[in-house]
Structure 1
């Protein structure tokens, strides 16, 4: 079964040597080979302001760049976010983009308790996190804190779920063979559209 997939390459560094870009490329190529439709968003290529007040978040119209991302999200059945772990969380620029995208009236009802569910129901997600530390350390010692927050406090809050996860740890230490192995696994996930 073919899916409509929006993939956010959440690495803010435009350097093509960043492993996160290769991960996003592998997922997209696998998805396209699997017969899925893919729309890609590269955080490193986007220009948008950082929200600085509740008024801006609630009342201002999203900038055109953000409105285009929102349109890609509405089109999608499945959302994939690939990002590095920086200081224990997603990069600040990715968080700023998520704040811009998930505004009242778009992601959840204005003036209504959000416990009733967000407006983006019916979409699933996968979050792929690359990190320098071993993934088991992030899971066991740090309890996957930032990933849990992204899944529960952002994605589930707006109605997206279930959200699967892939943690790629020790990216500096796994060497070229380890990286190729991960890219093959990610490509297979893309081919399945999960």
Structure 2
């Protein structure tokens, strides 16, 4: 299987980076092909340009679309900022998941052009999952990220894993989460978005 990992965190010594290393190594140990796109390291330009608004596609976007086309499974790893993706990752989606590549309309009917691909989201957050569930943010994220972006383009959502209360977690807890991560990415569960 071909795995594309899209990673969006600016710090190399972060728990997000430890997640990236764990997922990458797990996929390779299973004999899968892996491509990692570290958006900060490659200096991805997230701002949609005027020509792209008119249907133009820049060279850097063509390259990223080639990776997405190649992938059977796309994994997004990112921290939650302001109840959403970091700007660099949202900009990646704005530019790469463009009309005519990720979706299109034919006679007013939507066509999901990335159908057949799977997606896994793994994000970290400082607040507890219970708090986000209680105030409705958890449901809003599900609608705006899982459904309005991924399912809209045709992805089948494999898992959306959340590591919450990061600032209060211990090194032992984090090591335990990382050890369980490869199994959790693929085990069936009705609680996709919870860490435990």
Tell me, yes or no, whether TM beats 0.5: yes
Could you report, residue by residue, the CA deviation over 1:98-132 in whole angstroms, capped at 9, with x for unpaired residues? 1011111111126654x543111001111111000
Could you report, residue by residue, the CA deviation over 1:127-159 in whole angstroms, capped at 9, with x for unpaired residues? 111000112222332341224311111111111
What is residue 115 of structure 2 aligned with on the other side?
A: 121
Query: How much does 1:185 deviate?
Result: 1.8
What is residue 63 of structure 1 aligned with on the other side?
A: 59
Determine if the alignment matches structure 1 residue 166 to structure 2 residue 161. yes
What is residue 194 of structure 2 aligned with on the other side?
A: none
Question: What do you get for the CA RMSD once the two structures are aligned?
Answer: 2.2
What is residue 48 of structure 2 aligned with on the other side?
A: 51
Q: State whether residues 58 and 103 of structure 1, in contact with CA within 8 Å, keep that contact through their aligned partners in structure 2.
A: no
Gaps of 5+ in 1: none
Q: Distance in 1 between matches of 2:170 and 2:65?
A: 37
Alignment TM-score, normalising by the size of structure 2: 0.85
What is residue 26 of structure 1 aligned with on the other side?
A: 22
Q: Which has the higher contact order (CA 8 A, sep 6+)?
A: 1
Q: State whether residues 46 and 89 of structure 2, in contact with CA within 8 Å, keep that contact through their aligned partners in structure 1.
A: no
Q: State whether residues 79 and 126 of structure 1, in contact with CA within 8 Å, keep that contact through their aligned partners in structure 2.
A: yes
Alignment TM-score, normalising by the size of structure 1: 0.86
What is residue 124 of structure 2 aligned with on the other side?
A: 130
Query: How much does 1:57 deviate?
Result: 3.1
Q: Distance in 2 between matches of 1:112 and 1:43?
A: 36
Q: For the structure 1 residues 109 and 94, does the alpha-carbon distance in structure 2 shift closer, same or farther, using more than 3 Å as the test? A: same
Partner SS, residue 53 of structure 2: helix
Q: For the structure 1 residues 23 and 147, does the alpha-carbon distance in structure 2 shift closer, same or farther, using more than 3 Å as the test? A: farther
What is residue 98 of structure 2 aligned with on the other side?
A: 103
Could you report, residue by residue, the CA deviation over 1:26-74 in whole angstroms, capped at 9, with x for unpaired residues? 1111111122211111011133250155x5234221332x222211111
What is residue 35 of structure 1 aligned with on the other side?
A: 31
Q: Which has the higher strand share?
A: 2
Q: For the structure 1 residues 58 and 158, does the alpha-carbon distance in structure 2 shift closer, same or farther, using more than 3 Å as the test? A: farther
Q: For the structure 1 residues 184 and 57, does the alpha-carbon distance in structure 2 shift closer, same or farther, using more than 3 Å as the test? A: farther
4+ long deviations beyond 4 Å: none
